[in-house]
Amino acid sequence: MNINPAHQVTGDMSALMVIFGGTGDLTNRKLIPALYNLIYDQRLPKHFAIVAVGRKDMDHEQYRKQIFEQLKKYSRNDIDEMLWKNLSCLIYYFKLNFTDSVGYEGLDIFLRELDNTYQIPGNRLFYLAVAPDFFETIVMHLHKSKMAAVTKNSWKRLIIEKPFGKDLKTARLLNGKLREVFREDDIYRIDHYLGKEMIQNILVLRFCNLVFESLWSNQFIDNIQISLAEKHGVGARGGYYEQSGAMRDMVQNHLLQIVSLIAMEAPINLTPDAIKMEKLKVLNSIERFSPELLKNNIVFGQYGKGIIDGHPVPGYQEEVSERSNTETFIAMKFYINNFRWAGTPFYIRTGKRLGVHAAEIVIQFKALPDILYFSNDTEQEPNLLVIKIQPNVGVFFQFNTRDFNTEKEIMSAKMDTSHTSRAQGNTPEAYEKLILDVIKGDSTLFSSWDEVEASWMIADKITEYGRRRKLNLPNYDAGSMGPIQSFELLARDCRKWWNI
């Protein structure tokens, strides 16, 4: 369900989507399958075409054959030959060295020819599916070639994948360059987690259900836990991961975005600006981290060798560098210092090579006094609301009721609406939703610069603290749920991580 049903986006949806990095992994695994599934579901605009820009030497047909093989691997829908034929006719390839200014002039001419062919009034969606080193280079060449110029009858929009900078300083420099060319409203900083069904559904659960929103505060919630666990290791991304680690790869973007959605106040309306304003207030209310505060409230980890699904897997240092001090796991406890959440701890954790591949949000409600039904040593199970993000999608609620089958008076009952996409029918993947939103001009599910800046202010403090510490890594086995210190983090508060 869209979290923004009332926001009506106007404007011409006809467009040319220009994908820089057209032969890369992101395009093969996510973008082309997303576009195929959009045409499969009859949601792609009538006047639309795709130009994949890459440095490899090939023609249109060679490119179409190459991506068709990848599409068969990654599409959520079966391949319909007629639909693929319809889509493939809309896909073109243009060879370009990203640093070659003359080449952009040729690209501009090619795009104008396609405008005439597909009756498109100059609308452009520039998708930078490239290494971050090329972001500024490509944008400045678009500017010099006048391809980014907005006219009275056309729009130009830019989509940028993470990482948006390496720290606050580089993020500000990059943003300054982008703003020389594109307006803030035309820059879409993509976070694919925000396109996931249950992330979109967080605000619906809160603001469409009095039973939840009336309890959504420090008065009734004991703690909130967010876990993003991955079974796989870094694989071929070792070079990138050495520069990012879990902090930049997951916490600075995905996790802090989820925190802001969970903790935000009700917006004055459902426009993108109103929602982003409330999310930003949350980020600015997170307690200021000092080395003294972080000492007892953050755990860094790195996986060693272990067993995943019955198979031995190497440790991070064996995969990347035997001297690496890069974290592949982070667990944190922090507070949001505002009237609604003061005193309620937020616990977050994320890691690679863990025992499960899942993402969940657990809201644990406060316990009742140990009287009446809980006065005779009956164990009181807390009320839990679990938002399941992946691989299962849905909501789980745990509450107490009478046990009619045994002598035991109280039992914990569970209501579970979660489903897998196969059991419930195919559901749109994150990139399908996000691409369609950019075409519509709806930025609700994208990060504003103010949010990115606030997130980097938090991330830089934590990264600097981790850099100064002498960590004994690796400190957890692949296939486990992370370092023992992450469990001790909650145990000190007489709490525990809920199993995911």
Query: Is a pLDDT exceeding 50 seen at residue 334?
Result: yes
Domain boundary among 119, 145, 161: 161
Query: Is a pLDDT exceeding 60 seen at residue 346?
Result: yes
Query: Is a pLDDT exceeding 60 seen at residue 11?
Result: no
Same domain, 410 and 312: yes
Same domain, 341 and 202: yes
Q: What is the pTM of this model?
A: 0.90
Specify which residues 311 forms β-bridges with: 308
CATH of the domain at 132: 3.40.50.720
pLDDT of residue 492: 97
**254 included as an active-site residue:** yes
Q: How many CB atoms lie within 10 A of CB 492?
A: 11
Same domain, 138 and 281: no
pLDDT of residue 202: 92
CATH of the domain at 315: 3.30.360.10
Query: Is a pLDDT exceeding 60 seen at residue 428?
Result: no
pLDDT of residue 423: 36
Same domain, 289 and 396: yes
Report percent pLDDT > 90 for the chain: 76
Q: Is residue 256 part of a domain?
A: yes
Structural contact between residues 52 and 86, judged by C-beta atoms closer than 8 angstroms: no
Q: How far apart are CA 496 and CA 486, in angstroms?
A: 10
Q: Is residue 440 part of a domain?
A: no
Structural contact between residues 353 and 306, judged by C-beta atoms closer than 8 angstroms: yes
DSSP line for 89-144: TTEEEEE--TT-HHHHHHHHHHHHHHHHHHT--S-EEEEE-S-GGGHHHHHHHHHH
Q: Is residue 295 part of a domain?
A: yes
Q: Is residue 185 part of a domain?
A: no
pLDDT in tens, 451-481: 999 999 999 999 999 988 888 899 999 999 9
Same domain, 155 and 201: no
Count structural domains, the chain. 2
Same domain, 209 and 71: no
pLDDT in tens, 12-50: 789 999 999 999 999 999 999 999 999 999 999 999 999
Query: Is a pLDDT exceeding 50 seen at residue 5?
Result: no
Q: Is residue 443 part of a domain?
A: no
More confident call, 344 vs 469: 344
Average pLDDT, the chain: 90
Same domain, 360 and 452: yes
The whole-number average pLDDT for the span 56-73 is 95
pLDDT of residue 407: 63
Strand bridging mode 221-229 / 345-351: parallel
The whole-number average pLDDT for the span 491-498 is 96
Query: Is a pLDDT exceeding 90 seen at residue 424?
Result: no
pLDDT of residue 4: 42
Residue carrying structure tokens 């569970």:
414
Q: Which of 322-336, 410-424, 439-453 has the lowest mean pLDDT?
A: 410-424
Q: How confident is the model at residue 399 (pLDDT cuts 50, 70, 90)?
A: confident
Q: How far apart are CA 40 and CA 345, in angstroms?
A: 44
Domain that holds residue 385: 194-425+448-491
Same domain, 34 and 143: yes
Q: How far apart are CA 152 and CA 180, in angstroms?
A: 19
Given 7, 143, 232, 254, the catalytic residue: 254
Q: How far apart are CA 53 and CA 298, in angstroms?
A: 42
Domain boundary among 161, 183, 218: 161
Query: Is a pLDDT exceeding 50 seen at residue 244?
Result: yes
pLDDT of residue 246: 95
Q: Is residue 265 part of a domain?
A: yes
